[in-house]
Structure 1
Amino acid sequence: MTFAAPGAFAEQLMLTPKQTEGPFYPDHLPLDTDNDLLVVNDGITSSIGEVTHLSGRLLDAKSEPIRNAVVEIWQVDGKGVYLHSGSGGKEGRDTNFQGFGRFLTGSTGEYYFRTVKPVAYPGRTPHIHFAVKMKGRDKWTTQCYVKGTAQNDTDMVLQGIKDVKARESVIVDFAAIKESKIGELAAKFDIVMGYTPTDMGH
């Protein structure tokens, strides 16, 4: 089914595939849950890793922005450790990395995080977890992956997305920012959500 409207896409946007939350959603949220994961509270020591400016828009299938939604991310630090008591190697966790952040989307549906490029850990290719929370709807989760990573081809969670185009939609470029003197990266990940109960999932 297609929707035609002046200045709009003739077809619906591809919905971002839902993926597992995984076992490492923080079991104790940090006191600092803002969108800058590189600095904890008023700390002056930055995290280990490649600084990444992660942004995108939260859209519905008709390309309309979704505002006032909470976008959450969580990921391993530069050593491959989650902010979770069950994460492997937690003794060596980078305590200067927040590990979790939140952002409330505005009128354009945009979100922004400053974080580090994710690294691999045993059994998984590099990825960042996303959760979207909206009033009156179930929490919706997915994961975002790094383009050009060899482990993507063998990662069970990523390869579990059988539709090739849907799978490609969650793999994004972590590109060098030319003007950056410290080797910062930029990644853009738009999330397209359907509005039917089956898309939201339980």
Structure 2
Amino acid sequence: MLTKRRFLHGMTIGAAAFTVPGAFAATLTETARTGDGPFYPDKLPLDTDNDLLIINDGITPAIGEIAHLTGRLLGPGGNPVRNGFIEIWQADMNGSYIHTEGRFQGKLDGNFQGYGRFLTDAEGRYYFRTIKPVPYTLGGRFRAPHIHVAVSKSGRRIMATQALVKDHEANGRDSITRRIGDREALETLMVDYRPVPGSTIGEFTGNFDIVLGRTPEEREDGSIGGIGEPESG
């Protein structure tokens, strides 16, 4: 049996195989920031690693299409950021978060971790195995498929944003995409999920490079949750 411990060891070795090189240019576009949203976990799960499909050494995986989310944490000049603390959280296939107030009609996939974290390597790379996000409606608010992503460094929260699905038909109805008027900024939030070659179970892989701004002292207004405290501006 492939236990979670053995699987995670394999991912550490092979994560780079899923990573598409970052989009290097003379000037990189800073990844747009959207904030945490209302459903950052109010209580972190006991299992907080980068495999959201299996909880601890369970044998029943979460429901959904398997997605390998990879990318690099980069400075504005394309330099990799090592030891960046990446957090992700998202709704399950029912449209429910692990946050106690983020459940859709009380339905929750008990096998979905819902939250994970990863420390970037020397090349700024990170890797998560999760489910391809789905659209949902919570509290009367419709959302296109997305994964929340937050970055901390040296114990301080740097930024929080959302990774959406490129070209998804629901993007035009989403409150976040409509709020961001700049097309170039919006493009920084889009992930192109592609089938994994040779996969017999319909897996996808998507690359989401996170480009930090030039002025770290200029952070989002207000307090946001998470591992790292927000920088003071």
TM more than 0.5 = yes
Indicate yes or no: 2:162 matched with 1:147: no
Distance 1:64 1:182, change over 3 A: same
Q: CA deviation at 1:99?
A: 0.2
What is the aligned partner in structure 2 of residue 19 from structure 1?
34
Indicate yes or no: 2:89 matched with 1:74: yes
Give the whole-Å Cα distance in 2 for the aligned partners of 1:121 and 1:178: 29
Spell out, residue by residue over 1:66-85, the C-alpha distance to the aligned partner (whole angstroms, 9 max, x if none).
01110000000111110110
- What is the percentage of aligned positions where both structures have the same residue? 50
What is the aligned partner in structure 2 of residue 3 from structure 1?
none
Pick aligned residue for 1:44 from 59, 71, 75: 59
SS of 1:92's partner is: coil
Q: CA deviation at 1:194?
A: 1.1
2:63 and 2:93 in contact (8 A); partners too: yes
Moved over 6 A (4+): none
SS of 2:170's partner is: helix
Give the whole-Å Cα distance in 2 for the aligned partners of 1:200 and 1:68: 20
Indicate yes or no: 2:206 matched with 1:187: yes
The code of the aligned residue for 2:162 comes to: Q
Indicate yes or no: 2:50 matched with 1:31: no
Q: CA deviation at 1:154?
A: 1.8
Q: Say which is worse superposed, 149-158 or 122-131, in terms of deviation.
A: 149-158
**TM-score of the two chains, using structure 1 as the length reference:** 0.91
The code of the aligned residue for 1:89 comes to: F
Distance 1:108 1:90, change over 3 A: farther
What is the aligned partner in structure 2 of residue 125 from structure 1?
144
2:35 and 2:159 in contact (8 A); partners too: no
Give the whole-Å Cα distance in 2 for the aligned partners of 1:200 and 1:109: 21
Give the whole-Å Cα distance in 2 for the aligned partners of 1:84 and 1:74: 10
SS of 1:165's partner is: helix
1:30 and 1:98 in contact (8 A); partners too: yes
The code of the aligned residue for 1:24 comes to: F
The code of the aligned residue for 2:40 comes to: Y
Q: CA deviation at 1:17?
A: 0.5
Q: Say which is worse superposed, 105-114 or 145-154, in terms of deviation.
A: 145-154
Pick aligned residue for 1:116 from 131, 147, 160: 131
Give the whole-Å Cα distance in 2 for the aligned partners of 1:188 and 1:199: 26
| Unaligned segments of structure 2, at least 5 residues | 1-23, 222-233
The code of the aligned residue for 1:187 comes to: G
1:82 and 1:90 in contact (8 A); partners too: no
